[in-house]
Copies of this chain bind each other. A is one copy, B any other.
C-alpha cells in the first residue's frame, strides 16, 4: 500500500506515508453510493486514491446543488474542518466513479498536523483550494444568468472527465443547478444553434 500512496500524494513525506499506511483504513465504494450525508457526524478525514466523487449542498426540499468534484490525490476539506470540532457534515457526497478512499481517524488528522510538516501543508492547501473553488461557485450564481452558469457547469465537468463527451441527462444537470429540465433543454438548444455543443441522448458534446 505504501507505493500507491506515495504516488498519488507525492507531497507526503516518507514518515507520513508510513503513518498513513499503518493507521488508516482503505474503503471502497461503488458508483451511486452516498458516502457522506448532510447532518451525519464525520468520523474520518477522507482522502481519495481512485475514482470520482461529487460534493453537493442540500436544502430541505430535496434540492441537490453541485459544488465540486473530489478526485484522486485530493481530500474532503469538510471532513477536515469538521474533524477538530466533531461537527456534523454540512454537505452530501456521492460517488460517480467507483472509489477507493483512505479513511484517517479524526484524532490522527489533528495529531499529524504537529508531527508532519507535509501533512500540515497538504491540509492547508486543501482548505485553500476548496475555498477558492467555492468562491468561484458563488461568482457563477451571484453574477451570472442560467445560460452562463450552464456553460460554466459543462466546462467544469469536461475538465474533470478530461473529454468533450459529457454523459449527462438534462434532468441531472437541472437538478445540480437547481432549475428545471425544460430550462436546461431550452438553453442547450440555443447553445447547439450557436455551435457550442452537439446534443445526443445522454451525451453532450462540447465543440469548443
- Copies of this chain present: 2
A side interface size, CB within 8 A = 35
Contacting pair B121 A90 (CB below 8 A): no
Task: Decide if A189 is an interface residue (CB 8 Å cutoff).
Answer: no
Of A78, A124, A125, the most chain B CB neighbours within 10 A belong to: A124
Task: Decide if A132 is an interface residue (CB 8 Å cutoff).
Answer: yes
Contacting pair B138 A65 (CB below 8 A): yes
Task: Decide if A2 is an interface residue (CB 8 Å cutoff).
Answer: no
Interface string of A86-130 (1 = CB under 8 A from B): 010011000000000000000000000110000011001101101
**Beta-carbon nearest neighbor of A123 in chain B:** B124
Q: How far is the CA of A91 from the CA of B142 in the complex (A)?
A: 14
Q: Can you sample 7 A-B contacts with CB below 8 Å? A: A67-B138, A78-B131, A84-B125, A90-B135, A113-B120, A114-B120, A138-B141
